[in-house]
C-alpha cells in the first residue's frame, strides 16, 4: 500500500499529492502530522474529519506499517503517508497550504549535548511558518517539562506564533475529542504529565513575541 499512499511530490497542484484519492476540487483543508509513531492519532483524525487531507510523516517503518493497517481496516482515503523525514515533506510543500500541524511527543533528547537534535528549532519553525497559513494551528504535545519550556522559548525567539494559553488548565487539558497517541498512553502509565501547547501562526514574524 505504501507506494499508493506516498505523497506524489511532483504533482502539479497540492491536492495531486493524494493522487486519485483527492476529491475533484481538492480537500477543504490540509493538516500535517510530524512523527506519527503508530499512527493512532492520525488515523482517528482522518476518520473524524474526512473533508481534511492529512499528510503524515514517520521514518519508523513498523509505525508506517501500523498506520497502513488502520487505513485499510477503516477504508480511509484522505491521507498521504511519507515514510521518512518531515523536513523533506515541508521543503516540497507549497507555502501557506496547511490549516494545522501536529507535533506529538517529539523525541525528547534529554541530554544537554543532544538538545540541538530537538525537532523544535529555528529551522523547523521557519519551515512550519512557511507551510502553515496565517491563523493556522500548531499543536505541540510533550510529557517532558523541559521540552515544554524549550518549545516556549524557541517559539518566543522565533516570533511567528502566538501562544493563547492563559491558565494551567489551557496546557494541561487535551483538546476536545482527543484521540491520544501510543506514546502518550505510556507517559500517562509512567505517571508523567502531558502538556498540550497550542499556537496560532501569525501574519508576520515578530521576534521575541509569544
Ligand atoms: C517519541 S515518538 C512519538 C510518536 C507518536 N507521535 C506518539 O505520540 O505515539 C517520536 C517519533 O518522531 C519520529 N521522528 C523523529 N524525527 C522525525 C522527523 N524528522 N520527521 C518525522 N518523524 C520524526 C520518530 O521516528 C518517532 O516515531
| pLDDT in single tens digits along all 210 residues of the chain | 999 999 999 899 999 999 999 999 999 999 999 999 999 999 999 999 999 999 999 999 999 999 999 999 999 999 999 999 999 999 999 999 999 999 999 999 999 999 999 999 999 999 999 999 999 999 999 999 999 999 999 999 999 999 989 999 999 999 998 999 999 999 999 999 999 999 999 999 999 999
Kindly list the catalytic residues: 107
Q: Going from the N-terminus, what domains does the chain have, and what CATH number goes with each? A: 2-201 (3.40.50.150)
Q: List the grid coordinates of 115.
A: 538538545
Residue whose CB lies within 8 A of the most ligand 1 atoms, among 7, 32, 33, 37, for a mutation test: 37
**pTM, entire model:** 0.98
Cβ neighbours of residue 30 under 8 Å, at least 6 residues apart?
14, 52, 53, 54, 55, 97, 98, 99
Strand partners, 197: 140
Residue 142: Cβ within 10 Å count: 26
CA 181–ligand 1 middle distance (angstroms): 11
b/e sequence 89-99, b meaning 16+ C-beta within 10 Å: bbeebeeebbb
CA 37–ligand 1 middle distance (angstroms): 5
Amino acid at each position: 500500500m505504501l507506494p499508493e499512499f506516498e505523497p506524489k511530490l511532483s504533482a502539479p497542484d497540492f491536492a495531486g499529492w493524494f493522487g486519485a484519492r483527492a476529491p475533484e476540487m481538492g480537500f477543504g483543508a490540509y493538516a500535517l502530522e510530524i512523527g506519527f509513531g503508530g499512527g493512532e492519532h492520525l488515523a482517528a483524525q482522518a476518520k473524524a474529519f474526512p473533508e481534511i487531507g492529512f499528510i503524515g510523516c514517520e521514518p519508523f517503518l513498523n509505525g508506517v506499517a501500523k498506520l497502513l493497517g488502520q487505513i485499510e481496516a477503516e477504508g480511509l482515503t484522505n491521507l498521504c503517508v511519507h515514510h521518512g523525514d518531515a523536513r523533506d515533506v515541508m521543503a516540497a510543500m507549497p507555502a501557506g497550504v496547511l490549516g494545522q500541524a501536529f507535533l506529538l511527543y517529539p523525541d525528547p533528547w534529554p541530554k544537554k549535548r543532544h538538545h540541538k537534535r530537538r525537532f523544535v528549532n529555528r529551522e523547523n519553525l521557519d519551515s512550519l511558518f512557511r507551510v502553515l497559513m496565517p491563523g493556522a494551528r500548531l499543536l505541540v504535545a510533550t510529557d517532558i517539562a523541559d521540552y515544554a519550556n524549550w518549545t516556549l522559548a524557541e517559539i518566543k525567539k522565533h516570533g511567528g506564533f502566538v501562544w493563547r494559553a492563559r491558565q494551567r488548565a489551557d496546557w494541561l487539558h487535551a483538546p476536545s475529542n482527543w484521540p491520544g497517541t501510543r506514546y502518550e498512553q505510556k507517559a500517562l502509565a509512567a505517571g508523567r504529565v502531558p502538556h498540550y501547547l497550542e499556537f496560532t501562526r501569525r501574519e508576520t514574524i515578530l521576534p521575541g513575541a509569544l
